[in-house]
Amino acid sequence: MGEIRVSIVGASGYSGIELVKILARHKHARIDKLFANTSAGKRVAEIYPWFERYVDAVFERYSAEAACRSDVVFIALPSGEAMSLVPELLDRGKKVVDLGGDFRLKDASLYEKFYKRDHTAKTTLAQAIFGLPEWNRSQIKSATLVANPGCYPTSAIIPLAPVLKEGLIERKGIAISSLSGVSGAGRSSSVDLSFVEVNESVKAYKVGVHQHTPEIKMALETLAASTVSFSFVPHLLPITRGIYTSIYAPLRANATQGDIGAAFRKYYANEPFVRCSETAIPEIKSVNYTNYIDIGFRVDAENSQLVILSAIDNLVKGAAGQAVQNMNLMFDFDETEGLIA
């Protein structure tokens, strides 16, 4: 396919501006409209000076008419806002990639429970494809609406999927502990996210009630074709970007380090953005500003436990990079286009 036109709704936020960075270097995508109601009328470089002489564009107020002149629309808005926009875009024949949480869960009641708001586009949920390329590639290719996974779920699902599929761990008693930089909360101001509040501290939040919990459960149970139970505890780190996830899972009898390594190689040996190592320990600094997920693991044979560690950039593989990876699949481009320098 030749060049496509792209619009971004919520383009001035952290994930939205990462989309601008990636798409500006994409060989087959031309940025058409950048919508950002709170920044409307301002040049991109006025808010983000590094775009000076690189991206000459002005943020605009959202208009469905203007967005529909594009071939694909990315929605990088806080959860709860996309559901009012997506049905009209789909009705008008547009392809959509939603970076928020409005279309990730097939069960609207779960969405309403964890996101604390009514879902007003329930009939659209069945259309949405969960945009995890490593596991849903064929479905994404034919999708009109892709629900981009959350950052925490990406960091947990990709490492857990192979060992669940191969029956190497128990499907209950799994513990997931994730630490995230503060950019994961978005660009809107909050006292709790100010430098003084987060610096030199680490804290857990939304323990047992985080909105990404049902998303992780839905994906893991789909892949395992069985009930999966786990605990998920997110933490806030005093850094700007990056997610570090530690997973502790009970091993099934006789599972070895070699078995775990073989499972990762079976599913990820040819995946362009998954890097697994039996020796190296992942670090956030090794993945930031990239679309990679780094995975390491250790078998604690004495305690029959598997420890898996993963690191991603929450704004790239956890958001904008994975969204472009999905777009590449939807339009039959090279999956790595725009994502590898």
Q: How sure is the predictor about 194, in pLDDT bands with cuts at 50, 70 and 90?
A: confident
Q: Hunting for tokens 């509040």 — which residue is that?
A: 197
- Report the C-alpha gap between 13 and 47 in whole angstroms: 10
Hey, which CATH number is domain 152-314, 3.40.50.300, 3.40.50.920, 3.30.360.10, 3.30.390.30? 3.30.360.10
Is the Cβ–Cβ distance between 328 and 335 less than 8 Å?
yes
The reported pLDDT for the residue numbered 2 is 81
Which residues have C-beta within 8 Å of that of residue 65, sequence separation ≥ 6?
A: none
- How far is it, in rounded angstroms, from Cα 317 to Cα 73? 19
Residues of the chain with CATH 3.40.50.720: 4-148+318-330
pLDDT at residue 119, as a whole number: 97
**Secondary structure letter of residue 281 according to DSSP:** P
Rounded-to-integer distance, Cα 1 and Cα 70, Å: 15
pLDDT(193) > 80: no
- What pLDDT band is residue 202 in, cutting at 50, 70 and 90? very high
Query: Apex CA 131: angle with CA 129 and CA 137, to 5°?
Result: 90
Return the pLDDT at 304: 94
Asked if the model's pLDDT at residue 29 lies above 80, the reply is yes
Contacts of 37 (CB under 8 A, 6+ apart): 61, 62
pLDDT number for residue 190: 73
- Could you give the count of Cα atoms lying within 13 Å of 247 in the half-sphere of its Cβ? 33
Residue where the block lists tokens 């995890």: 132
231-288 tens-digit pLDDT: 999 999 999 999 999 999 999 988 999 999 999 999 999 999 999 999 999 999 999 9
pLDDT for 253 equals 80
- At 329 the three-state DSSP class reads helix
Spatial neighbors of 142 by CB under 8 A, at least 6 apart, are none
Q: In the predicted model, is pLDDT for residue 1 greater than 70?
A: no
If you average pLDDT over residues 37-46, what whole number do you get? Answer: 92
The share of the chain scoring above pLDDT 70, in percent, equals 98
> Taking residues 145-165, what's their average pLDDT?
98
Question: Which pLDDT does position 141 carry in this prediction?
Answer: 98
Cα first-last separation, the chain: 21
Q: Does residue 188 have a pLDDT over 70? A: no
In this structure, whether the domain defined by 4-148+318-330 belongs to CATH 3.30.43.10 is answered with no
pLDDT over 70 (residue 32): yes
Strand partners, 99: none
Average pLDDT (108-126) is: 96
Q: Are strands 230-236 and 203-204 parallel, antiparallel or unpaired?
A: antiparallel
Told to judge if 151 belongs to the known catalytic residues of this protein, a careful annotator would answer yes
Annotated active-site residue in 151, 156, 327, 329: 151
As a whole number, the mean pLDDT across the chain is: 95
- The segment(s) of the chain belonging to CATH 3.30.360.10 are 152-314
Q: Is the pLDDT of residue 13 over 70?
A: yes
Query: Given a cut of 70, is residue 289 above it in pLDDT?
Result: yes
Average pLDDT of span 294-313: 96
Give the residue-averaged pLDDT of 313-341: 96
Closest C-alpha to 104, from 78, 131, 85, 80: 131
Q: What are the structure tokens assigned to 272, written together?
A: 């362009």
Determine the pLDDT at residue 184.
75
pLDDT at residue 313 greater than cutoff 80: yes
Percent of the chain exceeding pLDDT 90 equals 90
| CA distances (Å), origin 291, targets 14, 84, 288, 295, 326 | 15, 29, 8, 13, 12
Q: What is the mean pLDDT of residues 93-120?
A: 97
What pLDDT was estimated at residue 187? 65
Given pLDDT bands bounded at 50, 70 and 90, which one contains residue 30? very high
